[in-house]
Amino acid sequence: MRRVLALTYSQTGQLTDILDSVLTPLRDNDEIELDIVQIEPEQPFPFPWPFVKFFRIFPETVAMQPIALKPITPKYAEYDLVILSYQVWFLSPSLPISSFLQSEQGQELISNTPVVTLIGCRGMWLMAQEKVKQLLKQANAKLVDNIALIDECGSAFSFLATPLWMFTGRKKPYSWVPKAGVSEKEIKDASRFGQAIKQRLLADSTKIDSPMLAGLSAVKINEKLIASERVGNHSFSIWSKLLRKLGPQQSKRRVIGLSVYVTFLLTLILTVVPITALIKKLIAPLTAKKIAKQKSYYAQPSGE
């Protein structure tokens, strides 16, 4: 019997749907026992998000400052495979997930265990995955595969469409906005990953220690976003430190600092992202080798 633990947290239900599709082939199999565990913060985050609250959690999210979670009761202490699904918040794993990965119970559950990460986000997940890799390493877990599904409307439009979804609770609040979220087809097609995982689980009873999803397009690296993510992540760390120094989340000083930050962020999105993408395109022939290396690094372990 193979034991699989699937961990999830989702505000809109999108990540639950993605995970559900991946898990479909693993269900109703006498040789596989599936345990699905919801990670929930003690104080739930709102959805739709009030504008200020959305940005208020930015400093703690980037710093991965753990929040209190509701206790979870997995069936077993050890599993043959853990599927960790998560969404990205501010180029970092969402707070419930980073908190879980730093909790004693979370670390014990994944220690010495192969882990497949499953991301559902707007489209910028590279830096978040770097942070998750670090947390997995600290917990002595082994990352064997990574799947990333991103919003269908493309990286430029999603800068508008996804926040509007977060603020209104609707994927297409206005007729002139493209629909936010991962496409239904992509979600449905994600069952191919479950199929490959099932094959490997049932092939023999040895420990899973290498990728199962090679050649299945588990991730697609948008090379135009690599530099933006790196620059963005660096500036996010500085702002996160600065804003936390100004005072606790509700303090007046923090709110003022946050307004400056939001203006900075919008400027960053409107300038740095398109400018770095343009510069990258112009110098592409000179940097082709370096970019190919970066793409292959971020695509690991499953590959594009």
Ligand X SMILES: Cc1cc2nc3c(=O)[nH]c(=O)nc-3n(C[C@H](O)[C@H](O)[C@H](O)COP(=O)(O)O)c2cc1C
Residue 125 engages ligand X in binding (rule: CB under 6 A): yes
Can you tell me which residue has the tokens 């590279």? 126
Cα–Cα distance for residue pair 292/304, rounded to 1 Å: 12
Of positions 15, 39, 216, 227, contacts ligand X by CB under 6 A: 15
Which residues partner with 5 through β-bridges? 35, 82
Cα–Cα distance for residue pair 29/269, rounded to 1 Å: 47
Question: What track of x and - describes contact with ligand X for positions 53 through 72 (by CB under 6 A)?
Answer: -x------------------
List binders of ligand X among 130-159 (CB under 6 A). Answer: none
Of the ranges 81-89, 207-215, 251-259, 280-288, which one interacts with ligand X (CB under 6 A)?
A: 81-89
Instruction: Output Rg (C-alpha) for the chain, integer angstroms.
Output: 19
Least gap, CB of 159 to ligand X (angstroms): 10
Residue 14 engages ligand X in binding (rule: CB under 6 A): yes
Q: Are 53 and 79 in contact (CB under 8 A)?
A: no
Cα–Cα distance for residue pair 78/81, rounded to 1 Å: 9
> Cis link prior to 301 (omega < 30° from 0)?
yes
Question: What track of x and - describes contact with ligand X for positions 155 through 184 (by CB under 6 A)?
Answer: -------x---x------------------
List binders of ligand X among 101-120 (CB under 6 A). Answer: 120
Residue 10 engages ligand X in binding (rule: CB under 6 A): yes
Residue 121 engages ligand X in binding (rule: CB under 6 A): yes
The nearer residue to ligand X, 122 or 142, going by C-beta atoms, is 122
Cα–Cα distance for residue pair 92/54, rounded to 1 Å: 14
Least gap, CB of 215 to ligand X (angstroms): 25
Q: If you count them, how many residues does the chain have?
A: 304
Residue 12 engages ligand X in binding (rule: CB under 6 A): yes
Cα–Cα distance for residue pair 196/287, rounded to 1 Å: 35
Residue 89 engages ligand X in binding (rule: CB under 6 A): yes
Question: What token pair was written down for 81?
Answer: 């495979």
The nearer residue to ligand X, 75 or 241, going by C-beta atoms, is 241
Least gap, CB of 112 to ligand X (angstroms): 28
Q: Are 153 and 161 in contact (CB under 8 A)?
A: yes
Instruction: With H, G, I as helix, E, B as strand and everything else as coil, classify residue 80.
Output: coil
Instruction: With H, G, I as helix, E, B as strand and everything else as coil, classify residue 121.
Output: strand
Residue 87 engages ligand X in binding (rule: CB under 6 A): yes
The nearer residue to ligand X, 113 or 228, going by C-beta atoms, is 228
Of the ranges 28-36, 83-91, 196-204, 261-269, which one interacts with ligand X (CB under 6 A)?
A: 83-91
**Count of residues binding ligand X (CB under 6 A)?**
20
Instruction: With H, G, I as helix, E, B as strand and everything else as coil, classify residue 135.
Output: helix
Instruction: Give the neighbor-by-neighbor strand order of the sheet with 142-150.
Output: 32-38, 2-8, 81-86, 114-121, 142-150
Count CB neighbours of 172 within 10 A.
16
Residue 88 engages ligand X in binding (rule: CB under 6 A): yes
The nearer residue to ligand X, 61 or 302, going by C-beta atoms, is 61
Site residues (vs ligand X, CB under 6 A): 10-12, 14-15, 49, 54, 87-91, 120-125, 162, 166
